[in-house]
Amino acid sequence: MEIEIGKTYICKPVGLTSEVAGFVEHTYTNTVLISVLECERSDRPKVIEAQNRLLVRYEDIRTVAVVA
């Protein structure tokens, strides 16, 4: 799957237990930087601590999210 900057994906960021919805801000060699739009309540403290920006491995990006 080709990852595009600005698109929203369902993925599992490094260090979190559940998947999140987030849009891609930057791509790196092995990871992407996302800005989290939605997450599970249990992961919210970690997301806030990271100021809503997390790294995701390419293999942990599942699908393009539909955002209304």
Provide the pLDDT for residue 21.
96
Q: What is the pTM of this model?
A: 0.89
Cβ 36 vs Cβ 16: under 8 Å: no
Give the model confidence (pLDDT) of 19-31 as tens digits.
Answer: 999 999 999 999 9
Query: What is the C-alpha end-to-end distance of the chain, expressed in Å?
Result: 22
User: Structure tokens of 26?
Assistant: 């930057």
In the structure, what pLDDT confidence band is assigned to residue 1 with cuts at 50, 70 and 90? confident
> Which are the contacts of 25, defined by CB distance < 8 A and separation ≥ 6?
5, 32, 33, 34, 35, 53
Provide the pLDDT for residue 68.
60
pLDDT at 33 over 90: yes
Residue 42: C-alpha distances to residues 10, 22, 46, 67 (Å):
17, 17, 9, 22
pLDDT at 37 over 80: yes
